[in-house]
Chains A and B, each alone.
Chain A
């Protein structure tokens, strides 16, 4: 804690004053952030930085915002259902709005993760988390338990995206923070050698002062993965 203060008289009122003051500082910071929008958010690409482009995928991901970002046009089928090129999508908070995150298998044999949402005017905004070859993803999942993709860090949130094996049943963050784990159902990339995978997004609603925000702030926690057969393993953070 930053300082020590001695209370002579009303202890409960002193605690109240500190809490209400802290609540006020949070409100001010959030209002300031809204004005500066995403100014302080930094996107960090952890995986191969190959940009995902329209040419990488032929069919819809099932998420209009992502399709729009990837410029996918599937005639007569706005929301093709069922297993296909893309995993199901996760709807997660990103700064002051919600976004959709999806993993998909690209035509060149890589696996990509993209997040996107539609702005009020109908245009899409989003980010790519890299597109490593599927064989690299499978190999690393086998060796380490998971493959970290992109992470975002801001003053009120840090979030990381990753793929884990399809038989992972639950995930427990091991580090400090108020982590929420979002996870899709298993999805198998439609190719020979494709193994079931689960897309995971871990989100921590942090409250970091802007001056404390730095590249040394951990982007994601160590995770304890529990597999279907009951065995557990620890995946080190990004």
Chain B
């Protein structure tokens, strides 16, 4: 229907009710983050992909109920991912309820396809590492420890001698700066 690349996430979710490509743009924007989050929590790539599909299927079903202002859309999406992950741990399997309701098939992947996804995630992680070089030292260390090395806030806090809240703030500021840098690069 139109160029969605400049629209904010909440607008994309609202437009999902009338144009399917709005959800496509939303997916493009966040799929790597969701996938990285799930793989970072120890899921093998094929399961992380399976769960990513379920997370987005849930987001599609719930898109009409998303209210901007409650939480940024990415945080909302990652919240769904964490819930689904907890569900998987409890029941030892990836849930498929949302995909079933949407009539989506179950996808299986060739080794080549999985390898490509791993390459993409590695490249993304490399982008963070490179971008982190532009951050102040404290923020750089916090972002690398949290995002690249996937360490807990408590652990990072103990190692750097500050409170977990301070680490969270450094990670949050660092990621915001990286996002800004990314947007400038894209222009």
Asked whether A16 lies within 8 Å of B28 as measured between CB atoms, the reply is yes
- Residues on B with C-beta less than 8 A from A26 are 60, 102
Asked whether A11 lies within 8 Å of B114 as measured between CB atoms, the reply is yes
- Residues on A with C-beta less than 8 A from B18 are 27
Name A180's closest neighbour in chain B (CB-CB): B65
Known contacts A16-B24, A20-B20, A23-B23: A11-B113 contact under CB 8 Å: yes
Asked whether A8 lies within 8 Å of B112 as measured between CB atoms, the reply is yes
Q: Mask for A9-34, Cβ within 8 A of B = 1, else 0?
A: 11110111011111111110010000
A23 contact from B16, B106, B107, B112, Cβ within 8 A: B16
Report the number of A-B residue pairs with Cβ-Cβ less than 8 Å: 117
Asked whether A205 lies within 8 Å of B65 as measured between CB atoms, the reply is yes
- Residues on B with C-beta less than 8 A from A11 are 49, 107, 109, 113-114, 116-117
Asked whether A178 lies within 8 Å of B20 as measured between CB atoms, the reply is no
A119 at interface by CB-CB < 8 Å: no
Asked whether B16 lies within 8 Å of A8 as measured between CB atoms, the reply is no
B21 at interface by CB-CB < 8 Å: yes
A39 at interface by CB-CB < 8 Å: no
A229 at interface by CB-CB < 8 Å: no
Asked whether B96 lies within 8 Å of A1 as measured between CB atoms, the reply is yes
Distance of A83 from chain B, by nearest CB (Å): 31
B100 contact from A1, A5, A7, Cβ within 8 A: A1
Known contacts A7-B113, A11-B116, A20-B21: A25-B105 contact under CB 8 Å: no
Known contacts A15-B52, A19-B57, A24-B20: A207-B102 contact under CB 8 Å: yes
B128 at interface by CB-CB < 8 Å: no
Name A156's closest neighbour in chain B (CB-CB): B64
Chain A contact residues, CB within 8 Å of chain B? 1-12, 14-16, 18-27, 30, 176, 178, 180, 205-209
Chain B contact residues, CB within 8 Å of chain A? 16-21, 23-24, 27-28, 31, 35, 49, 52-53, 56-57, 60-62, 64-65, 96-97, 99-110, 112-114, 116-117, 120
- Can you add 12 more A-B contacts, CB < 8 Å, to A18-B105, A22-B57? A6-B109, A7-B107, A7-B108, A8-B110, A8-B112, A9-B110, A15-B31, A15-B49, A15-B53, A18-B104, A21-B20, A178-B61
